[in-house]
Amino acid sequence: MKQAVFTQGSTLKHILIMTGANTVGLITLFTVDLIDIYFLSLLGQEKMAAAVGFASALLFFMTSLSIGLQIAMGALVARAEGRNDRALAGRYCSNVMLFSALIAAALCFPVWLFAEQLLRFLGAQGHTLALALSYCNILLPATPLLAVGMCAAASLRALGDARRAMYATMGGALINAVLDPIFIFACGWGIEGAAMASFAARIGVFTLAVMAIVKVHKLPSKTNKAFFKADLAAIGAIAGPAVLTNVATPIGSSYVLKMMAEFGDSAVAGAAIIGRIAPVAFVALFALSGAIGPIIGQNAGAGRYDRVRQVVWNAMLSNLVYVLLIWGLLFLLSDSLVVFFRVDGDAAALIGFYNYYLAGGFVFGGMLFIANASFNNLHRAYFATLLNFGRALLGTVPLVYLLSQWFGAKGVIAGEVGGAAVFGVLGFSLVLWHISRLEKAEQASI
């Protein structure tokens, strides 16, 4: 039987190839989000950017749910593939997609129902609240499509087919990019047009990813109630902690937004723009976290913990080099970005402060990404959950509160970066310790 692709060859090469493919897809997606807020800024209303910031906080919860579910898909399919058990991989694929659709539908409905109350809690009010609510009402119902589409893309990556996973992501992003100016300007729909373009993009990702895994790889197998129930424990063991892990981040982000709202719409608009710049600038780190999961999963499934350690260290090296390069670019382009988004006042000051002083702190976020991806594929998903909740509740919340009292809006974003630093270092240290334990146990069993 053919050996799993990631259990042989250079681990650094696998990381770079998978990360490169993921990056192309994600940068298209993140750039469209950035273009979204740019087009809205052309309408000359800072409230538009602020409204997207508030709406994104709620949508971030739903996206984090989808990310957690796709982690379960990637981990289960990769480990089954690492053992050369394609039948089990197919069964997991079918059942995780079904599970994802059910969970996403069940959870997005109450969020949609109480969207206005949730947005008010975050600090949205007046016309900004009305704009944010319109955006959420259109886009929240697309959550099940997003969840299943992301799971299908994760199963493609778990099989080593990063190319088609990239095509699915790029396809959705291109749909968004084409429809954005048409809906926002030509149709005159404003922020509702941006939301409808994003809805269409989710349909695109779903269609392309599901077609690839079904038509090309023929991975999903027929399932039934008995198989679904039998796999729930395995799915829940990873999906539960993974969802909690990823939901911890929007909890911290929501607190940051609520604190930022105290300094006005201009500060919220600045934070929203930073929230679009950072994913584009550091897109390779988001891609890296998705790339190393299948590589770790296949090597762990084959008992090659020496290679698992190589993957983690090579990922860390890539993280450090990349962040230093991007920080330099943001430093040089900071003034141009302020002009590009046509902002002034607090929004401009926050963007400059982030680019000059805080962007380098993303290296700690990268460390946490690496640790979480590793734990999710090494049967210690709850470690990732604890780290992310620790970052949100013990790192972000107290630092944001204290620094906001001393330094205002700048203290809010500084506190968020500081929280990541503590738990990024802790997480990376823990994953190296865990790999050493697994390697010793593997050697003792030989």
**Chain-centroid distance, C-alpha 63:** 7
**Separation CA 80–CA 101 (nearest Å):** 22
Angle at 387 between CA 384 and CA 391, to 5 degrees: 140
What global pTM score does this model have? 0.78
| pLDDT confidence bin for 444, thresholds 50/70/90 | confident
Angle at 263 between CA 262 and CA 265, to 5 degrees: 100
Give the residue carrying structure tokens 């240290």. Answer: 429
| pLDDT confidence bin for 112, thresholds 50/70/90 | very high
133-181 pLDDT, tens digit each: 999 999 999 999 999 999 999 999 888 887 898 889 889 888 988 998 9
Instruction: Please give the structure tokens belonging to residue 31.
Output: 């750039």
For every residue of 234-263, DSSP letters joined together read: HHHHHHHHHHHHHHHHHHHHHHHHHHHHTT
216-271 pLDDT, tens digit each: 998 888 888 888 888 888 888 888 877 887 788 888 888 998 999 999 888 988 99
Q: What percent of the chain has pLDDT over 70?
A: 98
The alpha helices in 123-161, defined as continuous H runs, are 126-139, 143-158
Give the residue carrying structure tokens 């926050």. Answer: 350
245-254 pLDDT, tens digit each: 778 888 888 8
| pLDDT confidence bin for 446, thresholds 50/70/90 | low
For every residue of 171-203, DSSP letters joined together read: HHHHHHHHHHHIIIIIS--HHHHHHHHHHHHHH
Query: Residue 1: its pLDDT value, please?
Result: 45
351-375 pLDDT, tens digit each: 999 999 999 999 999 999 999 889 8
Query: Residue 14: its pLDDT value, please?
Result: 83
Distances (CA, A) of 24 to 14, 216, 362: 16, 21, 20
